């Protein structure tokens, strides 16, 4: 199996950071209200019709204060006090009473290491409507983490979605962190497909807004889909990833994902590795060995020679270090001149009105291997109109030739016609085409 580089290293970081920040923010005790202020004093006014409605009822205060006193002890016994704390819930009828009860339960849950009680308190504070707007998002994140800790995943997702809707952010907590955590909550239940949909919806929404997509969304999606081998999502995420972030490492991962999850025959593998060479993603000895085997030195000596020269120059396969590669290099060097000399004859034969498919295809293959894209494109187009043609192979290689000519729109249209196993390779080539700046489409080869 080929190595996957960048996304394996970084895809999990956002999740770890997000959880750490949220949990840390949920372990500090809250200040809870006393009942000596103006709000409670208002209840004592004689003319209650003129006085504002009291924030706390007398029955609630009477039940609340003894518990509050007990909790202020140096080592309060939260487990013993829990029935009394829970008994406050039916007495808490006003928003302020719900908020005070929730804060007490939340603090008691921290002191007594009772996450269920802490969650219940957070929920009561949230539902009270008394949390300041800047705190509502934070408490929904904390509640989400507590619910996840208790394996109440549906509830955890609901809290987290509320935090996202409130556009909550904090130091070390970004919208990307929240969306990745939301996806991971599905993963915790083994619902990877649903988690991937969260991430793909974020990508779609950002693109609809014309806004950039955080690379970590792609990284998390690729890793999640690859680890569980979820197709076609793994290919969609990796293609979109390299389209937006076309680094060499990202391209290498996208190509190796496609390579690892499929058993391609030599012609398909050749086109995948051709792309790998273009984007600088061939880094290991096995990459070059497979390329040489797929190209076949006797058929495409010029291309094999170029691949071996690159492997030698990079030090991936130093000269003299591998006897088989040395043998292929010697063969390629001996055949290149002969192969190039034969091109005019092959071109003449392929252009003849009586030319057979085999000859026309051979001409296209030969000219493509020599980077003569204009001539290769002509013969691939001709072959497409002949009976028995492998249209998927021809569309793939015609698309490659069109990219070499700078005919980007035509290349993407051509590659979009490829079906079957080759479609995965063609789609990666189409993503690569999207990164190429359009150039004049003359007859001379421009290089890919």
Establish whether domains 6-260 and 266-433 are of one fold: yes
- CA dist 191 and 157 (Å) reads 13
pLDDT surpasses 70 at 157: yes
Q: What is the pLDDT of residue 133?
A: 81
What pLDDT score does 281 carry?
A: 96
Least confident of 43-47, 87-91, 111-115: 43-47
The per-residue pLDDT for 152 is 97
Cα–Cα–Cα angle for 61, 64, 68, rounded to 5 degrees: 130
Averaged over 346-362, what is the pLDDT?
A: 97
pLDDT-above-90 percentage for the chain = 83
What is the per-residue pLDDT for 324? 98
Is the backbone peptide bond immediately before 327 cis, with ω within 30 degrees of 0?
no
Confidence category of residue 25, pLDDT binned at 50, 70, 90: very low
Q: What band does 425 get if pLDDT is binned at 50, 70 and 90?
A: very high
Residue 206 binned pLDDT confidence (cut-offs 50, 70, 90): very high
Residue 243, Cβ density class (10 Å: 0-12 exposed, 13-18 middle, ≥19 buried): middle
pLDDT, tens digit (0-9, with 9 covering 90-100), for 48-68: 444 445 489 999 999 999 999
Pick the CATH number of 6-260 from 1.10.3470, 1.10.287, 1.10.10, 1.25.40: 1.25.40
Give pairs for 414-423: CB < 8 Å, separation 24+. Answer: 417/391, 418/392, 419/392, 420/392, 421/262, 421/264, 421/268, 422/268, 422/271, 422/392, 422/393, 422/396, 423/392
Rank 21-35, 48-62, 213-227 by mean pLDDT and report only the highest: 213-227
CB 123 within 8 A of CB 89: no
pLDDT of residue 443: 33
Q: What is the pLDDT of residue 448?
A: 57
Which run of H or of E encompasses 114?
none
In this prediction, residue 440 carries a pLDDT of 38
Task: Quote the percentage of the chain above a pLDDT of 70.
Answer: 85
Q: Decide if 118 contacts 106 (C-beta within 8 A).
A: yes
Residue 442 has pLDDT above 80, yes or no: no
Find the mean pLDDT for residues 404-412: 97
Task: State how far the alpha carbon of 32 is from the alpha carbons of 41, 98, 103, 125, 147, in Å.
Answer: 17, 12, 6, 11, 23
Q: 407: pLDDT confidence band, cut at 50, 70 and 90?
A: very high
If you average pLDDT over residues 225-254, what whole number do you get?
Answer: 96
Output the pLDDT for position 193. 97
| DSSP-assigned letter for residue 429 | H
As a whole number of angstroms, the distance between CA 32 and CA 85 comes to 14
Rounded Cα gap, residues 94 and 60, in angstroms:
10
- φ, ψ of residue 234 to 5 degrees: the values are -60, -35
User: What pLDDT shows up at residue 132?
Assistant: 87
Specify the pLDDT at position 246.
96
Q: Where are the chain's structural domains?
A: 6-260, 266-433
pLDDT at 55: 85
The matching CATH number, chosen from 3.20.20.140, 3.40.50.740, 3.50.50.60, 1.25.40.10, for 266-433 is 1.25.40.10
pLDDT at 38 over 50: no
pTM of the model: 0.83
Question: pLDDT value at position 436?
Answer: 81
Mean pLDDT of the chain: 88
- Higher per-residue confidence, 7 vs 278: 278
Half-sphere exposure of 33 (CA within 13 A, CB side): 20
Helix (H, G, I), strand (E, B) or coil at 391: helix
Of the pLDDT bands very low, low, confident and very high (cuts 50, 70, 90), residue 405 is very high
Where are the extended beta strands (E) located within 156-226? none
pLDDT at 413: 97
Residue 385 Cα distances to 296, 372, 395, 410, 419, angstroms: 27, 21, 12, 17, 17
């Amino acid at each position: 199996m080929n190595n996957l580089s960048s996304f394996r290293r970084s895809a999990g970081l956002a999740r770890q950071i997000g959880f750490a920040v949220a949990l840390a923010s949920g372990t500090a005790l809250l200040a809870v209200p006393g009942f000596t202020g103006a709000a409670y004093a208002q209840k004592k006014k004689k003319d209650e019709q003129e006085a504002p409605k009291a924030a706390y009822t007398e029955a609630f205060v009477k039940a609340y204060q003894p518990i509050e006193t007990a909790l202020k002890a140096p080592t309060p016994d939260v487990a013993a006090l829990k029935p009394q704390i829970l008994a406050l819930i039916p007495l808490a009828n006003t928003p302020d009473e719900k908020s005070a009860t929730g804060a007490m339960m939340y603090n008691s849950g921290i002191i007594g290491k009772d996450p269920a009680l802490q969650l219940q308190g957070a929920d009561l504070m949230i539902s009270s409507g008394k949390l300041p707007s800047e705190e509502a998002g934070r408490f929904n994140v904390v509640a989400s983490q507590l619910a996840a800790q208790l394996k109440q995943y549906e509830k955890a997702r609901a809290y987290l979605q509320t935090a996202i809707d409130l556009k909550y952010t904090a130091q070390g907590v970004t919208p990307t962190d929240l969306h990745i955590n939301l996806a991971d909550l599905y993963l915790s239940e083994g619902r990877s497909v649903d988690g991937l949909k969260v991430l793909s919806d974020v990508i779609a929404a950002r693109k609809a807004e014309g806004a950039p997509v955080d690379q970590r969304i792609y990284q998390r999606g690729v890793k999640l889909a690859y680890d569980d081998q979820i197709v076609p999502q793994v290919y969609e995420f990796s293609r979109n990833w390299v389209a937006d972030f076309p680094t060499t490492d990202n391209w290498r991962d996208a190509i190796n994902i496609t390579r690892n999850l499929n058993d391609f025959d030599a012609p398909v593998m050749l086109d995948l590795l051709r792309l790998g060479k273009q984007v600088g993603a061939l880094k290991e000895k096995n990459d070059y060995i497979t390329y040489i085997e797929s190209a076949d030195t006797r058929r495409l000596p010029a291309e094999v020679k170029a691949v071996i020269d690159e492997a030698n120059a990079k030090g991936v396969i130093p000269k003299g270090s591998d006897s088989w590669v040395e043998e292929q290099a010697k063969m390629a060097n001996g055949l290149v001149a002969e192969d190039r000399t034969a091109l005019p004859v092959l071109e003449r034969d392929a252009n003849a009105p009586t030319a057979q498919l085999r000859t026309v295809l051979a001409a296209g293959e030969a000219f493509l291997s020599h980077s003569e894209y204009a001539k290769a494109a002509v013969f691939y187009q001709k072959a497409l109109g002949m009976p028995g043609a492998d249209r998927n192979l021809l569309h793939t290689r015609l698309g490659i030739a069109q990219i070499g000519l700078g005919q980007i729109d035509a290349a993407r249209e051509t590659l979009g016609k490829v079906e079957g196993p080759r479609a995965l390779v063609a789609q990666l080539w189409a993503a690569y085409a999207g990164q190429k700046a359009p150039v004049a489409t003359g007859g001379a080869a421009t290089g890919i």
